[in-house]
Amino acid sequence: MENDILVNNSDRPLAGIRVIGLEQYMSGPYCTMLLADAGAEVIKIERPEGGDPRRAIPPFVEKDGIKKAGGFLAYNRNKKSLALNLQSQAGQDILRKLVKVSDVLVENLRPGATTKMGLDYDSLKLTNPRLVYAVISGFGRMPGYQSEYSDRPAFDIVAEAMSGIMELIGFADKPPTYTLYGLADIYSGLIAAYGIMQALFMRERTGHGQMVDVSMLDNMLALNERMVTLYSVTGQEPKRGHLQHFWPRGAFQCRDGYIAVNVPDDIIWQRLARTIGRPDLSDDPCSANGASRAANADFLRPIVEGWMADKTRAEVVDTLNAAGVPAGPVYSARDVFSDAHFRQRKMLMEIDDPEVGPYISARTTPHLSAAPEICANPAPSLGQHTRFILQELLAYSPDEIDQLVTAGIVATGEAS
């Protein structure tokens, strides 16, 4: 059973907090990974047959005939896996016993799934009044804040679309498009972790837990706050591909690739104009303020890119930053891995999986000056910690666990 014990650091901020993850795909797993990286003990609940669906979604890493999904590895480090059949009464009873000795439960199952099993917040708070119960859904689940959409399932792209974000991404002559794959999931996981922290802090004062209601659509709308404010204040609807109030902002071509530049005010525009050898553009009516620059972007872009055309990205970035114009290269994945900055910031964590070998995962943030570095335990195999959890936390005997395995209530990940 010694292989089931994770290496963790008791000095991380959430050491001593136990979290149950009724989770799948991305938002729930990312939330609990944040908590695990912060030192919490995270017990991931998975179906005995197949586990988290993300275990079967490509891309895969393979070694010696063993294949694992990269996306699963990325969002499930530093966790324990309990393979538990929640469709059975016995499995639900095991979960309730686990809730009694836990602090937090995170779930992102299909709306209504936990209610059918009697594992919703109203049911489980009777088992443990100190429980912090976080629900991540597409449209929100808290009573008093529900709408006609609340029972709908959702993936990230739906939240991007309905929040107005998708309408703003891309070019004016092209259809709306999505942003970063899984952005709504990852951001919702982050917000859920933030809400859980608030609830745990409140519990220190009140002694009681509470429900944390996290909606992917809410989060994307909050992230798109500029659109909300602009429409409220001016009645204008921002459109993709068109900047109305300032320019330049975007990617500009150099000799060997692109750099990103943002000029939010006239002071920085004056610095840029001097740097490219066109100080006259500071006072020219076509470029003296943000609105005029936005209206004349087609005229100004060739001037800016003309100065960059014979220079490398590194030369342009160094020159602009030295002049007080923030700029950075547009990186590919290869560029990120090649830049020493990310290693120096310890943002590229090496994790050694005992079956498929080492791989790199992005570190969660922030850095804390008084806390040790995040541990790097690999994502668990399905049911890897079932026997340990049942025996050590819930006092099941080895014979009782064997009976549960035979009945299909749990799986241990052991060779049959």
Q: Answer whether 33's CB lies under 8 Å from 186's CB.
A: no
Which residue type is seen at 268? I
CA distances to 73, 188, 226, 383 from 164, in Å: 31, 16, 11, 41
- Burial of 226 per CB tally in 10 Å (0-12, 13-18, 19+): exposed
Helix or strand holding residue 290 (H, E): helix 290-295
Q: In one letter, which amino acid is 397?
A: S
The most distant pair of C-alpha atoms in the chain lies apart, rounded to whole Å, by 85
| DSSP state letters, 121-178 | HHHHHHH-TT-EEEEEESS--STTS--TTTT----HHHHHHHTTHHHHSS-TTS----
Q: Which residues are catalytic?
A: 185
Buried b (16+ CB within 10 A) or exposed e, 326-359: ebebebeeeeeeeeeebeeeebebebebeebeeb
- Residue entry with tokens 């990186």: 331
Residue 375's Cα: distance from chain center in Å? 18
Question: Which DSSP letter does residue 239 get?
Answer: B
* Residue entry with tokens 């979960």: 95
Rounded to whole angstroms, the Cα distance separating 221 from 361 reads 28
Identify the burial level of 267 via C-beta atoms within 10 angstroms of its C-beta, where 0-12 means exposed, 13-18 middle and 19 or more buried: exposed
**Helix, strand, or coil here: 214?**
strand
Query: How crowded is residue 26: how many other Cβ atoms within 10 Å of its Cβ?
Result: 23
Read off the tokens for 186: 């990852």
Cα angle 196, 199, 204 (rounded to 5 degrees) comes to 130
19: which residues sit within 8 A by CB, 6+ positions away?
32, 35, 36, 40, 41, 42, 43, 102, 103, 104, 105, 106
C-alpha to C-alpha distance for 22 and 158, rounded to whole angstroms: 22
